[in-house]
């Protein structure tokens, strides 16, 4: 598969705290920061849009108080516009909502922007990119789910790779500054394939928090830097 590397952003790691040990969450987040993570990915599930109930506003607030890392709030909730204000007040930097969960995606994007935050829009594995295309020019981030949302620790859906490549092409065509985020089943066995698509924000839950968060974060962020370096070298060879 051809590499699609741009270099608009550094590739960044967003560990998902869904897989963290909540008894010592602050320490665990600090460990990922020492390892090079630059975001905290917070999965908000309402038991309706997805079967699970996970974290809510108080957790975002507590995390905000204990870290300077950027907070990436992933809303897996129906009618997300109801909670934009609350998550903005709690300290989110980016709020991503699901296209499938919003009656009026434009209104949700505006509500996020009114709070001065970065707006992300997400699609489930079965939702074609054509459905999200009209919103790309209006957001800062596109999140392509590589598992069915709802649970951590699932297996990466192989078809996600081709979808990510198409997503990157769509972003490059419409608004190249949009970040391409991938979430679900990204870890040792899939990270190289995922990087090859041009995704530049990688969510990892189990792969980071399942085992020594600092060591795992360092491992993956060093891999990102090597990947960027080799992509740069490849580009200058071609010039
Ligand atoms: C799934 C969540 C993911 C999940 C990722 O609905 O959005 O963020 O926690 O976990 P892993 O990396 O373990 O698949
Ligand atoms: Zn997520």
* pLDDT at residue 2, rounded to an integer: 36
- Element housing 142 (H / E): strand 141-145
- Counting as low any pLDDT under 50, the low residues of the chain are 1-4
* pLDDT at residue 7, rounded to an integer: 58
Active-site hit among 46, 72, 183, 200: 183
* pLDDT at residue 167, rounded to an integer: 98
- Residue 185 Cα: closest atom of ligand 1: 14
- Residue 154 Cα: closest atom of ligand 1: 14
Q: Find the 235 Cα to ligand 2 centroid distance in Å.
A: 32
Instruction: Give CA–CA dist 19/5, Å, rounded.
Output: 29
Query: Exposed, middle or buried, 71 (CB in 10 Å: 0-12/13-18/19+)?
Result: buried
pTM (2 decimals)? 0.95
* pLDDT at residue 3, rounded to an integer: 44
Q: Find the 204 Cα to ligand 1 centroid distance in Å.
A: 7
The answer to whether 43 is a known catalytic residue is yes
* pLDDT at residue 193, rounded to an integer: 98
Q: Find the 237 Cα to ligand 2 centroid distance in Å.
A: 37
Q: How far is CA 163 from CA 24, 74, 103, 220, 227, in A?
A: 36, 20, 24, 22, 21
Task: Give nearest CA residue, ligand 1 atom 9.
Answer: 152
Strand partners, 15: 204
How many CA atoms lie less than 13 Å away from 236 in the CB half-sphere? 5
The tokens for 106 are 């434009």
Report phi then psi at 33, rounded to 5: -65, -45
- Residue 148 Cα: closest atom of ligand 1: 6
Angle at 112 between CA 82 and CA 103, to 5 degrees: 50
* pLDDT at residue 232, rounded to an integer: 76
Q: Is 165 in the pocket of ligand 1 (CB under 6 A)?
A: no
Query: Exposed, middle or buried, 53 (CB in 10 Å: 0-12/13-18/19+)?
Result: exposed
Q: 1-32 burial, b if ≥16 CB within 10 A, otherwise e?
A: eeebbeeeeebbbbbbbbbbeeeebeebbbbb
H-helix segments, the chain: 25-34, 57-66, 84-90, 105-114, 129-132, 160-174, 191-195, 206-209, 213-238
């Amino acid at each position: 598969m051809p590499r699609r590397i741009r270099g608009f952003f550094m590739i960044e790691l967003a560990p998902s705290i869904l897989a963290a040990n909540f008894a010592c969450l602050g320490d665990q987040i600090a460990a990922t920061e020492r390892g090079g993570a630059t975001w905290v990915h917070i999965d908000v599930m309402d038991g309706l849009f997805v079967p699970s109930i996970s974290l809510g506003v108080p957790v975002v607030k507590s995390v905000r108080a204990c870290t300077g890392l950027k907070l990436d709030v992933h809303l897996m909730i129906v009618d997300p516009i109801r909670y934009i204000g609350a998550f903005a007040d709690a300290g989110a930097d980016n709020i991503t909502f699901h296209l499938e969960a919003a009656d009026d995606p434009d209104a949700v994007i505006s509500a996020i922007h009114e709070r001065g935050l970065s707006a992300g829009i997400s699609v489930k594995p079965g939702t074609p990119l054509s459905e999200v295309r009209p919103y790309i020019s209006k957001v800062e981030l596109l999140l392509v789910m590589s598992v069915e949302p709802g649970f951590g620790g699932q297996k990466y859906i192989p078809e996600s790779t081709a979808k990510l490549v198409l997503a990157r092409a769509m972003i490059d065509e419409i608004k190249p500054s949009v970040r391409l985020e991938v979430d679900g089943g990204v870890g040792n066995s899939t990270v190289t394939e995922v990087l090859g698509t041009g995704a530049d924000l990688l969510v990892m839950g189990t792969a980071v928090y399942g085992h020594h968060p600092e060591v795992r974060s360092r491992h993956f962020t060093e891999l990102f830097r090597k990947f960027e370096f080799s992509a740069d070298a490849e580009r200058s060879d071609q010039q």
